[in-house]
Structures are given as structure tokens and as C-alpha cells.
Structure 1
Amino acid sequence: MLLRDIAHSRTGDKGNISNISVIAYDMAHWPLLEAEVTRERLQAHLDWLEITRIERYVLPQLGALNFVLYGALSGGVTRSLALDAHGKCLSSAVLEMEVPR
């Protein structure tokens, strides 16, 4: 199944850094999110980006993971020629990650 089936996300960005939270719809899915949505899997899933480093923060009380993606925005909004250089579109890409049922 896709991550979007069990979670939603929120994003933010500053310069060339994107901040993405993945939040379980139901706490029953929290153990799966915590186990399967790792830095390594996220890096592989977003391999088309020039991410230099990913930090992962675990927020079990909220059923959420927070990822800070360095180098993810092609230099940032004011430096990129991309149509949408904000981190908001990355949340949709992250939610396309496959996780086991």
C-alpha cells in the first residue's frame, strides 16, 4: 500500500532545506510508520533530488515522524529555476512511498 493510505503530511521550507512531517491517521498504524519510514528508505525514494543529508525525528506521542531534508530544493526558492521550488510538493512525493500492509 502507499504511505498516503495510512498517513498525511505537513511541510515547510527555508532556503534549501525542506521539513516534512508524516503523521498517522490512526495510531494503530504508528508502529508500521516508525519501522518502515526510515531515513534510508526516504533517501532512496527521493533519489532524484540532490539531498545531502536527512535528519529523522520520532514523535511517538503525536504518531508522527519529522524529516529535515538538506539540499532538497535546488538551492531554494530564490535560486532555483524550478516552477515550484517550495517543499510543499515533496509531501505528495513522500506519500507515494510504498509500505507493507
Structure 2
Amino acid sequence: MQLSNKQKQFLKGLAHPLKPVVLLGANGLTEGVIAEIDSALEHHELIKVKVPEEEREMRVAINEAILRETAALHVQTIGKTLILYRPAREPKIRLPKG
């Protein structure tokens, strides 16, 4: 599934007031962190993940791994914060047609 620009703008608006649900710690991206992100996506559909890695290339690699492992869609990256969307089995967020 791909998000259109209109859908991304809609999700960005919904994500604006959200606080990061998952914060990567000193151990980086572990199976536990992936499971936590997966669980948060199932419950909330739209989440923010804080990746406090200083190196940009490493942060991009971590972001790509998160997207791959959780089958989530990338909405936006703002600095060290990643905004993810994945529709739940019973979606709460209704995306505009797009």
C-alpha cells in the first residue's frame, strides 16, 4: 500500500500533537523495541518513534529496518522523529481518497 500526498498531509495533521510512543535506548533497535512498535501500531495506527542516533546514515538505516520489520508506512521524518502509519485490523483512522 502506498500513501498519496493528500493522505500523508492528512496523517501529518493527525500526528502533529502526538508525543513519541517509542524511544530507542542505548541498545538501539532490538527485537523488544520492534515488538513494542508493532504493538503500538496495532493499537494506535499512527505513532511517532524517536531515534536518538547522532549519525544520519545510521538513523536512516534504523528507520528502514523499522519500516521493513513492522510493515508500516512512512509518513514523515522530522529530525530524529519518525512518523509511522499502519492500518489496524479494524481501522480507526479513515484516510481521505487519494
TM-score range, shorter chain: 0.3 to 0.5
Kindly indicate whether structure 1 or structure 2 has the higher relative contact order, using CA contacts under 8 Å at least 6 residues apart.
1
The TM-score, its normalising length taken from structure 1, stands at 0.38
The TM-score, its normalising length taken from structure 2, stands at 0.39
